[in-house]
Amino acid sequence: MTITIDAIKSAIEGGERLTEEIILQFYKRIEEREPEVNGFLTLCRDEALERARSIDQKRKKGEKLGRLAGVPVAIKDNISTDGMKTTCASRMLEDYIPPYDATVIKKLWDEDAIIIGKTNMDEFAMGSSNENSAFKVTSNPWDTKRVPGGSSGGSAAVVAAEMSVMSLGSDTGGSIRQPAAFCGVVGLKPTYGLVSRFGLIAFASSLDQIGPITRTVKDSAISLEVLQGHDPMDSTSYKGEASSYLESLEKGVKGLRMAVPKEFFHTKGLDPEIADSIRASIERYERLGAIVEEVSLPLMEESLAAYYLISSAEASSNLARFDGVRYGYRTKEYEKIEELMEKSRSEAFGKEVKRRIMMGTYALSSGYYDAYYNKAQKLRKIISLQYQEIFKDYDLIISPTTPILPFLKGEKTNDPLEMYLGDIYTININLAELPALSMPCGFSKEGLPIGLQLIGNHYSEATLLRAAHQLEQEIGLKSPIRKEEV
Amino acid sequence: MKISKEEVHYIAKLAKLHLTEEEADKMTEDFEKILSNFDAIRGVDVEGIMGETFKTTEAPHLRKDEERVFEDKKKLFQNTLDLKEGYIKVPKIIE
């Protein structure tokens, strides 16, 4: 039995297990596995156990339990948690304790979830390997010499290693989907605006989106139902009606129209084992009755440039607030205010963060604005329209999540451009504000997980989750570490 | 050459960052490679596409700008390093 939201909830509701026992068991597992995986930055055992006991009390009194009752959840360390350190894996926020909860955190509390800790990430969510964390490098639970992906690497690794049932990540250019692919779990990036960003420490506001990482598609559906919903605190929050996803999961994919962009398979550097695994999944979909056709989606390399220009420009602006004056790191010796700011920022930001701030400042500086930033924005529109064109005829797009398998620690740290190329299949989705999900679809000969990406039209998460669930049932799951009963 | 080391230092100044000579050398090298790659977008025809209209989901909507008091002042200032009589202390700005 795999540990799922349903299994935990029904064990608690049926009185078979106390919430406290379950949470203690997860902390025991963390004690055993965390030394190797290094997925957490902060653990909050006492608070979690106290919360667990209050849920047990609630049940004893016969009160109705929330949709995530007793479910352990790990939170990426760029999502604000009242009273609990939120560092963005940066020296800049090493001691920062938010005075308020992000909207998604409030929603988790309201549904009786139990936050067990905060997870490691690339500094300020900039990176694809977790090697840009200022504090530690998380390992991939499938092969601890390899990276878990990034930037939500800690969130993906702790779910893969069954140290948590669910986690929250954030996705600006693939930061939920790529680590989910590397760690063999399910990662969902919702449509832009579907989940509130209030309390998420911003990287690139027009691209950032919070989403769940889980072991099963069904758990992803349950999580999204909890996380979504309009929030007046986020001006980009979706005002439409909230959909439910569980009821349509079991509907088949017969007649569903799926597009496969041919350019995605001609990408330089696409691992042949990944290509084969995706093709095998396409065949499975065809056997299940879906209609799969090849389409064209050009502008791959150009979109990578557009993404890095726009995201860096927004980052340079968003990260201007970290000046060492009001909160965050402050340098020890300074005379003038300018010196205080410059020294604080230079000492506390890591290499990649500085590189992005520099790139963004350059793209926005006079003389280059039209050549780079403005052009990138227009290109973004073209890319969005290309996707809209495809969705006139198709329900979903299938692609690999990443062109490469989980790589060795240190393998790509010297070449930022090579690292950026790994985002080739995921960045477009953020530019076009679309929802997409990565799910495990197979393994390489070496036993490393391979991720398949399903892309849907805006607010079509129900179709996305249904198609993913159907494929997951066909393939079956495999756990990296011995499965245990809850 | 797409960018000189002097330009890199100038951009750093705009971004309120200080780079050592060694860091500036590496940054210039990285920029060179990244900008060559970014030039891919120069060739794309964007004629007739209006900027700032990339959005295909709904447009942002603003709530009423209403004042709300954050009651717990202690909590609000819990991350402030240098506080004096309810004000954040910084070096002298005006001589």
pLDDT tens-digit map of B37-77: 888 888 888 887 875 556 667 777 888 888 988 888 889 89
Residues 61-90, chain B, touching A (beta carbon < 8 A): 61-63, 70, 72, 75-76, 78-82, 88, 90
Is B16 an 8 Å CB contact of chain A? yes
> Measuring CA to CA, which residue among A347, A349, A339 is closest to residue A316?
A349
Nearest chain A residue (CA) to B42: A371
Is B18 an 8 Å CB contact of chain A? yes
Tell me, yes or no, whether A268 lies in a domain: no
Q: What is the DSSP letter of B4?
A: -
The helix/strand/coil state of A61 is coil
User: What pLDDT is attached to residue A479?
Assistant: 54
Asked if A175 is an active-site residue, the reply is yes
Domain, as residue range, for A45: 5-262+389-475
The residues, any chain, with a CB within 8 Å of residue A355's CB and separated by 6 or more, are: A416, B27, B30
Contact B8 A358 (CB under 8 A): yes
User: What pLDDT is attached to residue B20?
Assistant: 95
* Distance in Å, alpha carbon of A350 to nearest chain B alpha carbon: 11
Percent of chain A past pLDDT 70, that is, above it, reads 98
Apex A249 CA angle, A248 and A254, nearest 5: 85
Is B94 an 8 Å CB contact of chain A? no
Catalytic residue (choose from A139, A151, A152, A344): A151
Is the pLDDT confidence value at A234 over 80? yes
Mean pLDDT score across all residues of chain B = 86
Asked if A220 is an active-site residue, the reply is no
Distances (CA, A) of A243 to A106, A192, A229, A301: 20, 15, 9, 35
- Mean pLDDT, range A100-104, rounded to an integer: 97
DSSP β-ladder status, B87-88 and B83-84 = antiparallel
- Structural contact between residues A186 and A211, judged by C-beta atoms closer than 8 angstroms: no
> Measuring CA to CA, which residue among A399, A403, A397, A404 is closest to residue A453?
A399
Q: How far is residue A145's CA from residue A38's CA, in Å, rounded to a whole number? A: 12
Tell me, yes or no, whether A323 lies in a domain: no
Contact B17 A342 (CB under 8 A): yes
Tell me, yes or no, whether A482 lies in a domain: no
User: What pLDDT is attached to residue A318?
Assistant: 98
Residues on chain A touching B31 (C-beta within 8 angstroms): 358-359, 362
Residues on chain B touching A458 (C-beta within 8 angstroms): 56-57
The residues, any chain, with a CB within 8 Å of residue A476's CB and separated by 6 or more, are: none
Is B2 an 8 Å CB contact of chain A? no
Contact A99 B76 (CB under 8 A): yes
User: What pLDDT is attached to residue B52?
Assistant: 56
User: What pLDDT is attached to residue A482?
Assistant: 39
Tokens of A445: 């000969």
Cα of A99 vs its chain's centroid, Å: 24
Of the pLDDT bands very low, low, confident and very high (cuts 50, 70, 90), residue A421 is confident
Tell me, yes or no, whether A486 lies in a domain: no
Q: How far is residue A332's CA from residue A334's CA, in Å, rounded to a whole number? A: 7
- Structural contact between residues A426 and A178, judged by C-beta atoms closer than 8 angstroms: yes
Q: What is the ipTM metric for this complex?
A: 0.92
- Mean pLDDT, range A188-214, rounded to an integer: 97
User: What pLDDT is attached to residue B2?
Assistant: 80
Closest partner residue to B60 (CB to CB) among A191, A236, A309 is A236
Q: How far is residue B46's CA from residue A37's CA, in Å, rounded to a whole number? A: 46
Tell me, yes or no, whether A332 lies in a domain: no
Contact B46 A379 (CB under 8 A): yes
**Based on the structure, what is the number of domains in chain A?**
1
Give A40: exposed, middle or buried? Use CB within 10 Å, 0-12, 13-18, 19+.
buried
Nearest chain A residue (CA) to B76: A99
Out of A110-124, A138-152, A316-330, B69-83, which region has the weakest mean confidence (pLDDT)? B69-83
Which class is B5-43 in CATH?
mainly alpha
- Mean pLDDT, range A157-184, rounded to an integer: 97
> Measuring CA to CA, which residue among A211, A120, A213, A123 is closest to residue A164?
A213
Q: How far is residue A416's CA from residue A422's CA, in Å, rounded to a whole number? A: 10
User: What pLDDT is attached to residue B51?
Assistant: 57
Catalytic residue (choose from A133, A152, A175, A399): A175
- Mean pLDDT, range B2-16, rounded to an integer: 94
Mean pLDDT score across all residues of chain A = 94
Residues on chain B touching A193 (C-beta within 8 angstroms): 57-58
Residue type, A62: G
Per residue in A29-61, pLDDT (tens digit) is 999 999 999 999 999 999 999 999 999 999 999
Tell me, yes or no, whether A242 lies in a domain: yes
Of the pLDDT bands very low, low, confident and very high (cuts 50, 70, 90), residue A481 is very low
Distances (CA, A) of A26 to A4, A70, A77: 13, 11, 19
Distances (CA, A) of A332 to A347, A348, A353, A486: 10, 12, 21, 49
Q: Give chain B's radius of gyration (CA, Å).
A: 23
* Distance in Å, alpha carbon of B21 to nearest chain A alpha carbon: 13
User: What pLDDT is attached to residue A485?
Assistant: 36
Nearest chain A residue (CA) to B63: A232
Contact A379 B41 (CB under 8 A): yes
B16 sits in the region (left: phi over 0; alpha: psi -120 to 50; else beta) called left
- Structural contact between residues A307 and A272, judged by C-beta atoms closer than 8 angstroms: no
Of the pLDDT bands very low, low, confident and very high (cuts 50, 70, 90), residue A107 is very high
Residues on chain B touching A302 (C-beta within 8 angstroms): 40-41, 43-44
User: Domain of A237: which CATH number?
Assistant: 3.90.1300.10
Is the pLDDT confidence value at A484 over 60? no
Is the pLDDT confidence value at A349 over 50? yes
User: What pLDDT is attached to residue A366?
Assistant: 81
User: What pLDDT is attached to residue B71?
Assistant: 87
Is B28 an 8 Å CB contact of chain A? no
Residues on chain A touching B55 (C-beta within 8 angstroms): 433
Asked if A254 is an active-site residue, the reply is no
Residues on chain A touching B3 (C-beta within 8 angstroms): 362
Out of A6-10, A183-187, A204-208, A463-467, which region has the weakest mean confidence (pLDDT)? A6-10
Q: How far is residue A484's CA from residue A2's CA, in Å, rounded to a whole number? A: 8
Q: How far is residue A155's CA from residue A223's CA, in Å, rounded to a whole number? A: 14
Contact B44 A302 (CB under 8 A): yes
Tell me, yes or no, whether A350 lies in a domain: no
